[in-house]
Amino acid sequence: SFYILFFFFNDTATTEIYTLSLHDALPISPCKRVNCMVIDSSYLYVGHGGPGEIRIIDLNTEFLIKKIETRSDINSISLNDKFMLIAFTDKIQIYDKSSFKLVKEISEHGREVNDCIFQDSYIIYSSRDQVKIIDSQSFELLKCIKYK
């Protein structure tokens, strides 16, 4: 059986605000696929198909806090206490979690980034035939391990 549920608030302004916030926070288009998701104590980070976007949603209010447009496919999202790490097909972007501002971009110049994670005080990612280990405070390359 098929059910339709309608709900209304007492005033038009409340209904409109609630509807607009849901429209902004939730993916409406069926064309965009969710590539990756990660959650912390305050936010849900959702990466939509590429080229696509990262949507950051407040868990308490369910409002969209920030939308980051991308031109590359999103492979993964990783978090630590200070930063959000986004691995794209050709680069890694590091954002400050408190301001959602871009802090650092690491380009792989044509090499595909497969995965990227925070591990203790390191950022570890793989691309094609190598694994790179980066200090998560200074963002300096500590080690590049090539394998075949």
CA distance 118 to 40: 14
Q: What is the pLDDT of residues 122-140, one digit of tens each?
A: 988 887 788 999 998 899 9
Residue 85 to residues 10, 63, 112, Cα–Cα distance (Å): 43, 21, 16
Q: What tens digit of pLDDT does each residue of 86-109 get?
A: 888 788 889 998 898 999 998 877
Tell me how crowded residue 110 is: count the other CB atoms within 10 A of its CB: 8
pTM, two decimals, is: 0.68
